Amino acid sequence: MNNKEIVKQVIEAFLKHNVDKALSFMADDIKMGWPGFFNLKPGKDAIREFYQNVPQMISSEIGEFIEEGNKVVGTGVVTARHGDGSLKKSFFADVYMLENGKVKEIKSYMVFEQSKEA
């Protein structure tokens, strides 16, 4: 499986809230963060704990993948139901760094859809 296929598997697993499957493609010392917001502690346990509090996914769509060497960018759109019952649509571009067939680092960039008031 090449790097792009690995990242596609990870994104699909995350979107289906199958964290264990996503983690199976990651190095034990995986680093994950949202630049400008926060970084999780290194390791799979931090990702597993983080995803316990992720809002319920209502719909998702995977976009495109761009690969250069050991770096793959995957994009997409998700709609999630938040704790207050509201639905929020967001767009993501996740940058994956791979080494020896395992994801070593994920940087996630996410933008929430804004109201379209004139």
pLDDT for the residue numbered 75:
97
pLDDT for the residue numbered 84:
87
Strands 102-112 and 87-99 turn out to be antiparallel
Rg (CA), the chain: 14
pLDDT for the residue numbered 118:
57
Strands 102-112 and 26-34 turn out to be parallel
pLDDT for the residue numbered 55:
85
pLDDT (tens digit, 9 = 90+) per residue, 73-110?
Answer: 999 999 998 888 889 999 999 999 999 999 999 999 99
Statement: residue 117 has pLDDT above 80: no
Q: Tell me the C-alpha distance between 85 and 104, whole Å.
A: 34
**Which domains, and CATH codes, for the chain?**
3-112 (3.10.450.50)
pLDDT (tens digit, 9 = 90+) per residue, 15-73?
Answer: 988 999 999 999 999 999 999 999 999 999 999 999 988 888 889 999 999 999 999 99
Strands lying side by side in the sheet with 26-34: 38-39, 26-34, 102-112, 87-99, 71-81, 56-68
Ordered alpha helix ranges (H), the chain:
3-15, 19-23, 44-50
